[in-house]
Amino acid sequence: MHPASYRDTWAEISLDAIEHNARTFKKNLQRGCKLMAVVKADGYGHGAYETARAALRAGAEYLAVALLDEALELRAAGITEPLLVLGYTPPRSVEKAVRAGVTLTVFTTDVLEAVEAAAAVSSRTPARIHLKVDTGMTRIGVRTAEEARSIARQAIQTPGVALEGIFTHFATADSADDTFTREQFRRFMNIVDHISDDGIDIPLRHCCNSAATMQYPDMHLDMVRVGISLYGLLPSVASERDTHPLKPAMQFKTRLVQVKDVEVGTPVSYGGTFIAERPTRIGTIPAGYADGLSRSLSNRGDMLLHGRRVRIAGRVCMDQTMLDITDVENTEEGDPVTIFGKSGDAFLHVDEIAELMDTINYEVVCLIGKRVPRVYLYKGKPAASVNHLIGEIPAQDSPS
């Protein structure tokens, strides 16, 4: 959270939407299944601490991040709930994690041995670990039943270490074709069964990401990991909309800082790629590609002004962008502009921007930089505003 901001560009985050989304998933989980809220990458750009608190209020039992650095930031902010690092933690950093009560992902013996050493000298026991299995993502994790059994045996034989979980990650759960996902699930359960045959009981088995949580209730097991859809975005068009009606949590807003009328033939922005073909009104906003507004949207992306679409005019600059606002009457400096989100009765979805950028909605929200302050709304009102310099958020531009 920025303590102050001196320009009119901000990301508006609805904590009500995040709570709604978490409750929606909780309602649709199989009996006894826990919800892990994934708040890595600063809560997919929404703010890790604030979204973690909202998800926990809505019933999430576990949190997850990608890196130990992210976990330690949450611990320092006062988050005490169970917290898993999904990615690799180097052995040199393990003791810090154990002292902070952070659960680690393990898939190599050197990391497991570092956990064992840290547990031996830490008063914060047990040191909890989850075993990662690679069933087809070909990223991180053990690949064979024998590898998994070896690490599991070593873990349970060590005082102060708790093998709390085992998990895998689906590569194509957001596809309409379920063939590979079901094959990954079969491989995962085969390894889980081999470990169980050794008399080793692992309490938390989890494999479902957002897409799989929605599409494969038979795979929920003991816990599911919900990331992108916690923030109200679908992982793909194949994902369920009816059973999981979600609310997008983020809107990206700014204001016109200058409005000028230009003559026919006037070039706009770097390279003069936009040339006015009629008497044109140009509006400038204080946001650019350094804020996450991709340069690939130059001359083709839209924004909303007074509930109407306006096209980006010329190339997106690092800190500013120009808009062709000729067709919107009664515009003036200070008027609110919606980069994505709601304006009047109109709504510009993140998915549309992602399609223009030839990417996914995950990237669009994660790209919004740290210098863009986050303004949090809770119960429909500002929960934490940057400061009065942002000014009043116009009612017609607040989330519905």
Would you say residue 280 lies in a domain? yes
Return the closest-CA partner of residue 205 out of 169, 168, 166: 166
* 278 and 210 in a common domain: no
Would you say residue 397 lies in a domain? no
* 292 and 189 in a common domain: no
With 80 as the cut, is the pLDDT of residue 242 above it?
A: no
Would you say residue 381 lies in a domain? no
Residue 83, token pair as written in the block? 């917290």
Q: Which residue has the tokens 């500013």?
A: 320
* 151 and 98 in a common domain: yes
Known binding-site residues equal 139, 318
Q: CATH number of the domain at 261, please.
A: 2.40.37.10
Mean pLDDT for 279-292 is: 98
Could you tell me if 282 and 262 are in contact, meaning their C-beta atoms sit under 8 angstroms apart? yes
Q: Name residues whose C-beta falls within 8 Å of residue 41's C-beta, 6 or more positions apart in sequence.
A: 66, 70, 366
Q: End-to-end CA distance of the chain, in Å?
A: 23
* 182 and 66 in a common domain: yes
* 179 and 49 in a common domain: yes
The 10s digit of each residue's pLDDT in 185-230 is 999 999 999 999 999 999 999 999 999 999 999 999 999 999 999 9
- What is the per-residue pLDDT for 234? 96
Would you say residue 283 lies in a domain? yes
What is the H or E stretch that residue 235 is in?
A: none
The 10s digit of each residue's pLDDT in 143-192 is 999 999 999 999 999 999 999 999 999 999 999 999 999 999 999 999 99
Would you say residue 8 lies in a domain? no
Total-model pTM: 0.93
Indicate the SS3 state at residue 243.
Answer: coil
* 226 and 262 in a common domain: no
Residue 295, token pair as written in the block? 């340069």
DSSP code per residue over 36-64: EEE-HHHHHTT-HHHHHHHHHHTT--EEE
Instruction: Give me the number of domains the chain comprises.
Output: 2
Residue range of the domain that includes 95 = 15-231
* 293 and 348 in a common domain: yes
- What is the per-residue pLDDT for 238? 59
* 178 and 87 in a common domain: yes
Would you say residue 377 lies in a domain? no
| Catalytic residue list | 40, 270
* 293 and 146 in a common domain: no
* 264 and 166 in a common domain: no
Would you say residue 109 lies in a domain? yes
What single-letter DSSP state applies at residue 97?
A: H
Q: CATH number of the domain at 134, please.
A: 3.20.20.10
What are φ and ψ of residue 266, in 5° steps? -75, 125
* 119 and 198 in a common domain: yes
* 355 and 276 in a common domain: yes
**Which residue, 166, 196, 231, sits at the end of a domain?**
231
- Cα distances from 177 to residues 120, 173, 303, 383, in angstroms, run 47, 8, 34, 42
Would you say residue 299 lies in a domain? yes
With 60 as the cut, is the pLDDT of residue 63 above it?
A: yes
Q: What percent of the chain has pLDDT over 70?
A: 93
